[in-house]
Amino acid sequence: MKKIVIAGDHGAVDLKSRIIAFLEKKNFEVTDLGTHGSDAVDYPDMALAACNEFKKGGYEFGILLCGTGIGVSISANKIKGIRCALLGDLFSAEMAKAHNNANFIAFGGRIKYAVPVEAMIEKFMETTFAGDRHERRIAKMMAIEKQC
C-alpha cells in the first residue's frame, strides 16, 4: 500500500480531513501528524515533523497545510532534501511533479480554490517526472543547500 504523510496547523483542519478521506478512498495509507483541533499550533513545527517523518523513507510524498499554504511550504523548503510546491491549479500540480519532482505539496485551508484540492492532488499523483533536462535543474536546485 502506498503511504503519504500529512500535517497541518489549526488553519486547515477541515481541509486535512477532506484530503485524508480522499486519499483513503484511493487506498493510500495516511500518516496524520496533526493537528486535529482548533488550538493554535505553529506551522513551522508541523512542517518539520512531516518532513522528518518523510525522510525516514517509505512515503510517496507529503502534504502540508496551513491557512494559506505559504508558511508551511517556505518552512519545508528550508529542510535538506525537501522540494515543496505550493499548488493553486491543475497546471501547477502537473508541473510540480513533471518538472520539479516535488516530494511535498502544500495547500491553504483558508484559500478558496477554483479547482478542488482533490483534483490537484489527483493530477500530481498521475503525473510522472519528465527527467532529462529537469534532472540537471533539480540537481542545481538541491546543490544550493550545500552552498548556503
Distances (CA, A) of 28 to 116, 135, 146: 19, 27, 34
Q: What is the model's pLDDT at position 78?
A: 96
For the chain, list the domains and their CATH numbers.
3-147 (3.40.1400.10)
Query: What is the rounded CA–CA span in Å between residue 116 and residue 12?
Result: 15
State the pTM of this model. 0.97
Which residue has better confidence, 1 or 90?
90
Query: What is the rounded CA–CA span in Å between residue 111 and residue 72?
Result: 14
Q: Does the active-site annotation cover 66?
A: yes
Query: What is the rounded CA–CA span in Å between residue 29 and residue 46?
Result: 19
Given the residues 10, 51, 66, 84, the one annotated as active site: 66
- Greatest distance between any 2 Cα atoms in the chain: 45
Summarize pLDDT for 32-56 with one digit per residue, the tens.
999 999 999 999 999 999 999 999 9
pLDDT band at 148 (very low <50, low <70, confident <90, very high): confident
Mean pLDDT of 52-79: 98
Q: Does the active-site annotation cover 134?
A: no
Given the residues 36, 51, 84, 99, the one annotated as active site: 99
Q: What is the model's pLDDT at position 146?
A: 86
pLDDT band at 77 (very low <50, low <70, confident <90, very high): very high
